Amino acid sequence: MVMWIAVTVVKLLIYFAILMLFVAYGTLAERKVAGHIQDRLGPYHCGPHGVLQPLADGLKLFFKEDIVASEADKFLYFLAPALAVVPPLLVLGIIPIGESITIAGKTIPLPIANINVAVLYFLGVTSLSVYAIMLGGWSGNSKYPLLGGLRSAAQFISYELVLGLSIIGVVMLVGSFNLVDIVKYQKDMWLFIKQPVAFVAYMVAAIAELNRAPFDLPEAESELVGGYHTEYSSMKFALFFLGEYANMVVSSAIATALFLGGWYAPCSFLSFIPGPVWFLLKTFALFFFMLWIRWTYPRLRYDQLMGMCWKYLIPITLFNILGTGLVVILKAGGV
């Protein structure tokens, strides 16, 4: 028992470190990718090619003046940024970065918690993110954040559905909510080949859930100045930022587990590279995809975003479930 706790604590620390590193260098990647897409270099002067930029950013945010809006509801105002970081950290526990590892003759499973309802847990926890943004938008007692909070409430509730419905297809095929089982099912063929519609719907919904362009309406800077975090400064702002990037990372990680074969190598001759490395590479590829989208597309309008969700994505995912169900039944009947 003591051994188990010790191992779990060590795993927690390592995964947390990986996540924070990923987030820190995710911000740098964002700026570098944006720079190169836009014909410029991005951060360049802090360390060679700007590699120390995340540290400098962190320091800067720590030392910035912490301004509290005078008319704010203080309790919720302080609670919101803290809440923003919690959901991605909770999801971290179920990410199947690899199957197991053998150290000193002992087999240690790599996921922190290999639970049977992992998918449900993921959906449940991510839907908590909306509270951070809503409370952040509302508690500042300011008009632009309010509009941002308003938008995000509608956006989250709608795209939550798409996210859930898109995963159902996967669950039906695999017959399990367990992420490790889902990854193992993909040993021979990744699920995005069997479930392309679900994969696309998941990615769209994930980007919308993350408030990333082209769905970054809650913080649309050209309309709402800063959106829900207009009234936040210093580390409170940084926490929102941290939450957003951590969310990006865990969303990419979950997508990797669900659709991109988790820790399996794309071809068998590449399997000498350890599984966790593959997992991180795939996660980063999806992360990069999100950056790429952001710097290519304009932003949708609020009503158009809702229209897209209810008129197109939800019917499409429902049909996907219907189709998957038919296939599953036909296969079962055929046997």
Partner 1 sequence: MKAVDGLKRAFQDAVQGVSEFRGETTVVIVPEVLREVCLYLRDKEGYDFLVDLCGVDNGTDRTPRYSVVYLLRNMETKDQLRLKVFTDGTVDTVSDIWPTANWHEREAYDMFGIDFKGHPELERLYLPEDFEGHPLRKDYPLRGLNPDRDMYEGGVKTKVAPSKPNTMILNMGPQHPSTHGVLRMLLELEGETIVNAWPIVGYLHRGTEKLAEYKTYHQVLPLTDRLDYLAPPSNNLAYILAVEKLLGIEPPPRGKFIRIIMVELARIASHLIWLGTHAMDIGAATVFLYAFREREKIYDLWEMVAGARFHQSYFRIGGVREDLPEDFIPALKKFLDEFPKALDECDNLLTNNKIWRVRTEGVAVLSKEDAIRYGATGPVLRGSGVNWDLRKAYPYAGYDEFTFHVPVGERGDTFDRYLVRMEEMRQSREILMQAVARLPDGPINTEPGKYNFPPPEEVKGDKANIEALIHQFKLVIEGVRPPKGEVYQAVEAPKGELGFYIISDGEPRPYRLRIRSPSLINLQALPIMIKGLKVADVVTAIGSIDIVLGEVDK
Q: Distance from first CA to last CA of the chain, Å, rounded? A: 44
Answer for which of 214, 265, 276, 306 binds partner 1 (CB under 8 A) is: 214
Answer for which of 297, 310, 312, 319 binds partner 1 (CB under 8 A) is: 297
In sequence order, the β-bridge partners of residue 106 are 103
Is residue 298 involved in binding partner 1 (CB under 8 A)? yes
Q: What is the x/- site pattern for partner 1, positions 225-264, by CB under 8 A? A: x---------------------------------------
Tell me which residue has tokens 């090619």: 49
Q: Which of 18, 94, 23 is nearest to 240 (CA)?
A: 23
Is residue 34 involved in binding partner 1 (CB under 8 A)? yes
Is residue 306 involved in binding partner 1 (CB under 8 A)? no
Cα radius of gyration (the chain): 21
Structure tokens at 63: 């030392």
Count residues binding partner 1 (CB under 8 A). Answer: 30
Return d(Cα 112, Cα 278) in angstroms, integer. 18
CB 151 to partner 1: min, Å: 8
Answer for which of 12, 295, 321, 328 binds partner 1 (CB under 8 A) is: 295
Is residue 143 involved in binding partner 1 (CB under 8 A)? yes
- Of 10-18, 144-152, 170-178, 253-261, the segment contacting partner 1 by CB under 8 A is 144-152
Answer for which of 1, 3, 5, 39 binds partner 1 (CB under 8 A) is: 39
CB 300 to partner 1: min, Å: 6
Q: Which of 309, 332, 298, 325 is nearest to 195 (CA)?
A: 325
List Cβ neighbours of 166 (8 Å cut-off, separation of 6 or more).
Answer: 197, 198, 199, 201, 202, 205, 317, 320
Q: Nearer Cβ to partner 1, position 32 or 151?
A: 151
CB 256 to partner 1: min, Å: 27
CB 71 to partner 1: min, Å: 15
Answer for which of 30, 216, 219, 231 binds partner 1 (CB under 8 A) is: 216
**What 3-state class would DSSP assign to 107?**
strand
Return d(Cα 187, Cα 202) in angstroms, integer. 21
Is residue 41 involved in binding partner 1 (CB under 8 A)? no
Q: Nearer Cβ to partner 1, position 147 or 168?
A: 147
How far CA 195 is from CA of 91, 184, 206, in Å, comes to 23, 16, 16
Question: Residues of 30-44 as b/e, b for ≥16 C-beta within 10 angstroms?
Answer: bbbbebeeeeeebbe
- Of 73-81, 129-137, 163-171, 297-305, the segment contacting partner 1 by CB under 8 A is 297-305
Is residue 194 involved in binding partner 1 (CB under 8 A)? no
Return d(Cα 105, Cα 236) in angstroms, integer. 45
Is residue 100 involved in binding partner 1 (CB under 8 A)? no
Is residue 288 involved in binding partner 1 (CB under 8 A)? no
Return d(Cα 193, Cα 199) in angstroms, integer. 9
- Of 45-53, 54-62, 292-300, 322-330, the segment contacting partner 1 by CB under 8 A is 292-300
CA angle 152, 164, 205 (to 5 degrees): 45
CA atoms within 13 A on the CB side of 143: 1
**What 3-state class would DSSP assign to 281?**
helix
Q: Nearer Cβ to partner 1, position 108 or 150?
A: 150
For binding to partner 1 (CB under 8 A), which residues are involved? 34, 37-40, 143-144, 147, 150-151, 213-214, 216-217, 220-225, 295-304
